[in-house]
A and B are shown apart, each in its own frame.
Chain A
Amino acid sequence: MAKTAVQEFTKGLWAEIPPFRLVLGLCPILAVTKTVENGIGMGIATTFVLICSNILISLLRNIIPKKVRIACFIVVIATFVTVVELVMQAFAYPLFLKLGIFIPLIVVNCIVLGRAEAFAAKNGVVASLADGLGIGLGYTLSLTALAIVREVLGNGTFYDIPVFGPTFEPFAFMVQAPGAFVCLGLMLCIMNMLGKK
């Protein structure tokens, strides 16, 4: 049964939301979610790469020889990641400095290659576009959600704006690596509880 583009889009936002349901792309989600700004920036960068690589791979899916498909996918993905890197350097340099190594690392993000291999290589352009957009937005939402919790509790700010006033003592733990693990774990737990029927 062929799903509609809308269904392909919405599945990325809930049923297959990448870090919580597919449990993919955890390395950047742990590393860049110290602040909401970083989280959103990383999410948008990943979404762009996902959409572009999904479209291109879907267009080329009958041309790419099956045996070297992974190599070709990686070349396509790496190209778009480098584009993002250059554009970000040119137009959002401070963000580029904060995200640093995690931008080039989008190349090896399992979500991107995963969608290329599992979806774009087998489906049409429109469906792949919807899939990329949905998964990308889902990923951005997850990054943002985690970043909000961590920044508000760990730093007492939201998008660099103080939320609690000067008397608030931030949980420094939350912006460090263990805080990221604990926070992600709790979110996974909540998602699983909500998803259970």
Chain B
Amino acid sequence: MDNKNLNKKAGITRRQMLRILGAGAASYGLFGASSKAFSKSAAHIVIVGGGIGGAAAAKYLRLLNADVKITIVEPKSQYIFCPGSNEVLPGWVTLEDLMVTYSTLKSRYHINVIHDKAATIDYDKKQLKLEKGDILSYHKLIVSPGPTHNYEAIDGFNDTLAEGDFPSAYTAGRQTMNLHNQLFSMKKGGTVIISSPEDPYRCPPAPYERASYITAMLKENNPTAKVLILDSKNDFIFSNVYPVYWKDRFGYGTDQSMIEWVPRKDGGQVVKLDATNHSVITADGHVHKGDVINIIPPEKAGQFALQNDLSEGDWCPVDFLDFSSFKQDHVYVIGDSVDGDPMPKTGYIASNQARVVAQAINDELHGREVGTPFIINDCVAMAGKDYGMALSETFRYAGKGKKLGEHYHILGPESNKAKQIIRQQVAENWQRTFRKDIFE
């Protein structure tokens, strides 16, 4: 169990251990990062992407199987947890609060983490090539690269502008801080434009949660400011709750409202960014000038999946029995890149897809029939520090080649203040537990 102590007892240092492991270990890419010695014949599961999906797959596979070799390929040595990152915008938490590392996955779960970028897959040789040149042989490959933010889908927009004056801030990071700073330095009475994308995209309620937080912050610091949500959809998740909250707190629906929502049918679809004039143009030709412009672009599967022939169109088709790719053998795709309708793209779902894959791979390694999948998605979103909401979805297997059977239930608005706070407390506490569940 505790290999560190075992090694110590046997008088073997880590360096000696590496030497003993020798060429076998080297061909699997530096297993010395974890202190456990794996058998030469042990299966090697390689995971591309150390986000929620990849990290959960690694940890839960390890909980099922002590003998398998597990390697995560992830360029970043610190991961900023995306759930909760909207709270950085009004300054309720910092990015540092959301940072996690791979140290527990390495030390406690004996998972090898290589900080490099996965480049190409040789499907015949079952090998993954990394950017710096390392080649990893795999028995099974799990691909969990997250989404590609398709900035170019909006005319005049690109990743350079997103990294600069027009942060999308839709994956937690530098853009999140840029947007935070812009919001706090915006002129008195300024307008914040949030463009919400067409489905499907990561975390469906996030644009509305973000709009709520920003409006709450402005109400305190810049009460004559306005938030304008231009939506490429005609409806959104929790549309039975957010407007009720907005009406109560921000005068939504009146001339004095601090927040406005424009659906696609009323001209909400942003098609162009005019960076020079700091404005966006909608499909009906309307020009909206904004002091802070936050375009959340449409998404597609992660670049790695798109470039390695795992996608059909924008997303990756999989068999929902075990999330194995319909395009390539011995490869599984999980998380935001999956063509998973009716599953939404959430971290919660990615983690639970990861648990399904972990079990499926372990079943297969043991020569058993793969168990029936079952997936839950709970979304405990917030509108403010004093108001939470909840939805729950279950996804049942419906047979080969069929979509999963989804049943969902979204609670209506809560008028009791104590219950509003309790819902919010559940949401806030969930984030912390979830981070721990995946990375500790």
Do A and B bind?
A: no
